């Protein structure tokens, strides 16, 4: 059975997490015809988060709540995570609609050496995250044709109280109802995207989500997802799901796109 103490801890954690997220994360790979290009990662905290952080008590010894976000050394150190030969270029600050953020830009000479994990900045922001990590995308480029290898998804995306082996049916149902209500608020305004574009255009591609010269590898617009009653259920179905199951879960759910093919090919113009 789900012990009452554990149940209260679960509720307490949910209430602590129920802060206005309004967090946007965008990763963009731009590929040139010669195989070089750039990677940019943009992280923007919405106005509610900014207001909350700026409203924290100031005084002797108080830390700047944005110090870590604006620290260029943090992004310089991350360059090696993208693969051999990827170099830090610059950091741009962003102020948009009351929100604040940064765009870190990296350069590479050969995309064959690049690796990138879609949505990874979200895991980096959550320093307490100890769940399974997704393997990165890998790239192979030759003769104007790019092949992107997409790994099998990590085993867990969302945790459900129903999955606890010691949970009784009644307590698990209540816990999940509370979790769903909290998640709607917690994810409000949150967007996560990973895209690939080419500087010369795309002649053809078998990517699932191709529009003009942009391929979407991951898109999570939680406002759109939560508008649909099927949205949260679709998110839950992603937990431990395989490629085919994920593709089936995404049908009819606006705001969500996940490339599920093992490989996609892109022929540049």
What pLDDT does 55 receive? 78
| Count of domains for the chain | 1
CB distance 139 to 112 below 8 Å? yes
| Domain membership of residue 140 as a residue range | 4-10+20-268
Q: What angle do CA 175, 122, 214 make, to 5 degrees?
A: 120
Closest by Cα among 253, 259, 224, 223 to 236? 253
CB distance 116 to 143 below 8 Å? no
What pLDDT does 147 receive? 98
Residue 256: alpha-carbon gap to chain centroid: 12
Closest by Cα among 56, 36, 31 to 215? 31
Cβ-count burial 174-187 (b if 16+ within 10 Å, e if not):
ebbebbeebbbebb
Place of tokens 């003769």: 143
Spell out the per-residue pLDDT of the chain, length 269, in tens. Answer: 333 334 334 334 434 444 446 889 999 999 999 999 999 999 998 888 888 878 777 654 556 767 888 999 999 999 999 999 999 999 999 998 889 999 999 999 999 999 999 988 876 665 555 555 678 999 999 999 999 999 876 544 444 444 444 445 665 555 555 656 666 666 778 899 999 999 999 999 999 999 999 999 999 898 888 777 677 777 766 666 777 777 777 777 788 888 989 999 999 99
Residue 42 falls inside a structural domain: yes
Residue 15 falls inside a structural domain: no
> What is the DSSP track for 127-191?
TT--SPPPPPEEEEEETTEEEEE-PPPPS-SS--GGG-TT--HHHHHHHHHHHHHHHHHHTTT-E
CB distance 225 to 231 below 8 Å? yes
Residue 256 falls inside a structural domain: yes
What pLDDT does 8 receive? 39
CB distance 41 to 192 below 8 Å? no
């Amino acid at each position: 059975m789900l012990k009452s103490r554990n149940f209260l801890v679960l509720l307490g954690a949910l209430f602590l997490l129920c802060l206005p997220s309004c967090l946007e994360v965008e990763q963009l790979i731009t590929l040139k015809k010669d195989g070089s290009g750039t990677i940019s990662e943009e992280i923007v905290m919405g106005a509610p988060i900014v207001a909350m952080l700026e409203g924290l008590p100031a005084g002797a010894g108080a830390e700047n709540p944005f110090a870590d976000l604006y620290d260029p050394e943090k992004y310089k150190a991350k360059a090696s995570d993208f693969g051999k030969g990827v170099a830090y270029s610059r950091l741009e600050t962003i102020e948009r609609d009351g929100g604040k953020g940064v765009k870190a830009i990296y350069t590479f000479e050969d995309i064959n050496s690049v690796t990138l994990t879609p949505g990874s900045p979200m895991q980096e922001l959550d320093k307490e995250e100890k769940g399974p990590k997704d393997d990165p995308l890998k790239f192979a480029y030759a003769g104007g044709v790019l092949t992107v290898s997409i790994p099998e998804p990590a085993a867990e995306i969302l945790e459900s109280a129903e999955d606890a082996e010691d949970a009784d049916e009644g307590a698990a149902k209540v816990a999940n109802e509370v979790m769903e209500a909290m998640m709607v608020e917690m994810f409000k305004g949150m967007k996560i995207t990973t895209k690939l574009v080419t500087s010369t255009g795309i002649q053809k591609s078998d990517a699932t989500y191709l529009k003009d010269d942009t391929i979407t590898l991951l898109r999570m617009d939680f406002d759109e997802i939560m508008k649909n009653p099927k949205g949260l259920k679709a998110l839950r179905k992603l937990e431990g799901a395989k490629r085919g199951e994920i593709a089936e879960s995404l049908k009819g759910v606006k705001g969500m796109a996940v490339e599920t093919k093992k490989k996609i090919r892109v022929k540049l113009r």
